[in-house]
Amino acid sequence: MTDTSQRKVALVTGSSRGLGRAMALSLAQAGFDVAVHYGRNADEAAKVADEIRSHGVDAGVFGADLTTPANAGTLVEDVIKGMGRLDVLVNNAGITRDGLAIRMKDEDWDAVLQTNLSSAFVACRAAIKHMMRARSGRIINIASVVGLSGNPGQANYVASKAGLIGLTKALAKEYGGRGITVNAVAPGFIQSDMTADLPEDVQAAYRKDIPLGRFGQPEEVAALVTFLASDAAGYITGQTIGVDGGSHPH
């Protein structure tokens, strides 16, 4: 096992379940120590941390309510304090509050934009201060294909993901000279507990619009995140890369 002081540390927000969990485990398998973040479920986060440690690396568990953006900055500082460094930030945490724009409540707009975009910005700002001193770092923002294509009934979510893509491009240009890469990953329809609960005819209709004819797996998104976090991706920055089976070519 590599000396802990030599291993890089990755923080994945929203990593107690789903896509975030898959990303955290993939990074652990690649040799990163991983900070597991949760908003509400500390027990699930602790289980993910145990899985991470089974790969011979270290894990920390950190709770923070990212509906309040200031907490994202505190989270980053806590990870650096607790784990000694931060080399990779994956902004994955996000919520939805769907509804037609004409009926959307102000609080539903605000909650989604604050959690999905403002908290990601605050986390980036805090991480960049640390990464600038190291003259190295990777930031990976988990956007969505709907941030590129739009989607009815999700004006707030679409705006937050489109904002993440724009933020990615701006930060890539601002901090590339400091050795920091910033990229976005835009998943399409990914297999989850939610998709599994959809009636088969609804699933079939969605699959019909996907050239590869199937939903993606969380591990397929995680593999791209892990690559972007690696030294091999050192000349890739400012990009938005889709993982969508070809359904939203861009």
Block residue for tokens 């699930």: 44
| 144 labeled part of a ligand binding site | no
Backbone angles phi, psi at 248, to 5 degrees: -135, 70
| 157 labeled part of a ligand binding site | yes
51 and 25 Cβ atoms separated by less than 8 Å = yes
Distance, in Å, from the CA atom of 12 to the CA atom of 27, rounded to the nearest integer, reads 9
| 161 labeled part of a ligand binding site | yes
Active site residue 157: yes
Catalytic residue, from 38, 157, 175, 206: name it: 157
| 160 labeled part of a ligand binding site | yes
Distance, in Å, from the CA atom of 225 to the CA atom of 156, rounded to the nearest integer, reads 25
| 92 labeled part of a ligand binding site | yes
Inter-CA distances, 70 with 25, 60, 114, 138, 171, Å: 27, 21, 10, 21, 19
| 15 labeled part of a ligand binding site | yes
| 17 labeled part of a ligand binding site | yes
Annotated binding-site members for NADP(+): 14-17, 92, 157-161, 190
Residues annotated catalytic, as ranges: 157
Feature table: binding site: 14-17, 92, 157-161, 190
